[in-house]
Amino acid sequence: MADPTETRVAVYIDFDNIVISQYDAVHGRGAFIKEKARGAAGKTGDRLQEATVNIGAVLDFASSFGAVAISRAYADWAAPANTRYQKQLVDRAVDLVQLFNTSGTKNGADIRLAIDVVEDLFRLRDITHIVIVAGDSDYIPLAQSARRLGRTVIGIGVQGSTSAAFKNACDEFSYYGDLVDDEPAPPATTEPVAPDPKRDAVELMVRALRVRRGDDNVDGWVAASGLKQQMKRLDAGFDEKKIGYKSFTDFVKAQAAVAELQEDGQARRVRLKDRG
């Protein structure tokens, strides 16, 4: 059962908007439409790969505001430019909302997304934060309405394709490029990797340290308790005892190559070693 005092987050992704905006950011304004990249035919397949959206970084960032209760992505999932992301999104428990492209350019995501947000806000009173991954000025009334209803609105968009008015309508706004930390986006489709629970746990800790936010984050240091909570948000199955550690502190100490542990009595704080 969810902790009634914990912040709860709903994430809504205008996926077409982000894919198109990232493609244009990498290849030039208007390139997605000019090159008919939606079909991923010929050279556009490689160019789409070069402009891959690191959706994992977006979802990790959203989870830093609290437990994610809803996550939905809106797109025409039959379009090859979007189809390549389906497994990645489903593996992250994102609901895929199908929108049919009837005009050749617009798919109506803004209308459907806005209706869903308003319905969810009235139906689920415990939602405290709304994350809108888009950038269109069409979402300004939605952001304003959510704020009037007492929710905190976080916007995420691609630089160069985001309305200044939409940014100002949010309580907080981040550019996609700032979330990925200059790391290359993983391929939209990836080959399966043999499971390694200890390696996966270390990677999970690094992800959690990169996105952890709040009052416990001072100069990169985060409370160990907050870090473990964030790791559980990213992967509910994490349990240090399952991989051979008696406590979370023991687990962190064993990762001295990638993280520092600071202990002061019962207080423990952790930060990445490669901060600089």
CA 214 – CA 35 distance, rounded (Å): 42
Quick one: CA torsion of 155, 172, 204, 192, rounded to 10 degrees? 10
Is the pLDDT confidence value at 1 over 50?
A: no
Domain spans in the chain, listed from the N-terminal domain onward: 8-179, 197-272
Is the pLDDT confidence value at 188 over 70?
A: no
- Band the pLDDT of 195: cuts 50, 70, 90: confident
Superfamily per CATH, domain 8-179: 5'-nuclease (3.40.50.1010)
- Band the pLDDT of 211: cuts 50, 70, 90: confident
Summarize pLDDT for 55-70 with one digit per residue, the tens.
999 999 999 999 999 9
The reported pTM is: 0.80
Assign a CATH topology to domain 197-272.
Nucleotidyltransferase; domain 5 (3.30.420)
Residue 267 has a pLDDT of 87
Write out the two tokens for 75. Answer: 């797109």
Give the SS3 label for residue 71. Answer: strand
Summarize pLDDT for 14-29 with one digit per residue, the tens.
999 999 999 999 999 9
Is the pLDDT confidence value at 215 over 50?
A: no
The CB density around residue 244, as the number of other CB atoms within 10 Å, is 11
Is the pLDDT confidence value at 275 over 60?
A: no
Q: What is the 8-class DSSP label of residue 107?
A: -
Summarize pLDDT for 67-102 with one digit per residue, the tens.
999 999 999 999 999 999 999 899 999 999 998 865
Write out the two tokens for 178. Answer: 């700032």
Long-range contacts, 110-115 (Cβ 8 Å, 24+): 110/14, 110/134, 110/136, 110/138, 110/139, 112/74, 113/12, 113/14, 113/72, 113/74, 113/139, 113/142, 114/139, 114/141, 114/142
Burial track 63-100 (b if 16+ CB lie within 10 A, e otherwise): bbbbbbbbbbbbbbbebebbebbbebbeebebebbebe
Write out the two tokens for 151. Answer: 């929710």
One DSSP character per residue, 214-255 reads STT-BTTBEEHHHHHHHHHHH-TT--GGGGT-SSHHHHHHTT
Write out the two tokens for 36. Answer: 């008919």
Residue 190 has a pLDDT of 55
Pairing of strands 67-75, 152-157: unpaired
Summarize pLDDT for 134-183 with one digit per residue, the tens.
988 899 999 999 999 999 999 999 998 899 999 999 999 999 998 886 45
Is the pLDDT confidence value at 105 over 70?
A: no
Q: Among positive and negative, which fits the CA dihedral 203, 131, 50, 78? A: positive
